[in-house]
Structure 1
Amino acid sequence: MSEENSEPDLVIDSDWKSQVEQEKQVAPEPAAEEAMQQMPPPSLAFLISTFYSQAMIALGVMPNPATEEKSTDLPMAKHFIDTLEMLREKTKGNTDDEENKMFDEVLHLLRMAYVGATKG
């Protein structure tokens, strides 16, 4: 630091990129590791249920977990329903009986809830 300037002198580490890489490779914190262990394995059923939950929140059937309040966003709900329908079409022939049944049930429930929300 120079006497005439109270600001610290800028020191440039020529190896800053490798230092950043080393910091990235540090083991995750125990809390992050625990959270990863609690996550369900990736699956089509998990993806379907995620879209289902988001659509039910948009339909005002379930409260938004961030606000704990119910609100209706019909265009968003329709988007989630349409996305599930597209996913069903794109995966046709690559799903098992259980996944097909889940698509049928979820889409039926969402369509009924959507109709109810548009009339209510």
Structure 2
Amino acid sequence: MNEPEFINPNKLRPGPIRNESLPPNLLNKIKAVFDIIGPYLGMTLEQFEIGFMRDLNPESEVALWCNITMAWLAYHEAHLANKTLSDEEEGKLLGALIAISTGIEDVTRLNVPEEVGRRLIRCYDNPAGG
């Protein structure tokens, strides 16, 4: 098995725009997601939308972000009485949920306390049951 090749992150560039426009229903979902978790993403709504325009399959990517957002809401409802934490802590929660969405289930790799990681995984797997 070959060793992974190191890629300098400073040399990464955005991919091409593959979709000149997105359908209104998708744009509405993107805005709904952004309205909830946008403050912790470090980008504008336009920048967030452009990311989906670069996707080969923006529908599945929007669905993934909807799942992340539903898990974020479920966690806040079940474990924080719908209160938000500091921007830094919210960013960590969101980062953990993004990692979970990629298949990471090892709570020691989520950059949050292990119990928080377990709760986030439960919320991601079953947002209705938090």
TM-score, scaled relative to structure 1:
0.26
Q: TM-score, structure 2 length as denominator? A: 0.24
- More contact order relative to length (CA 8 Å, sep ≥ 6): 2
Q: Highest Rg: 1 or 2?
A: 1
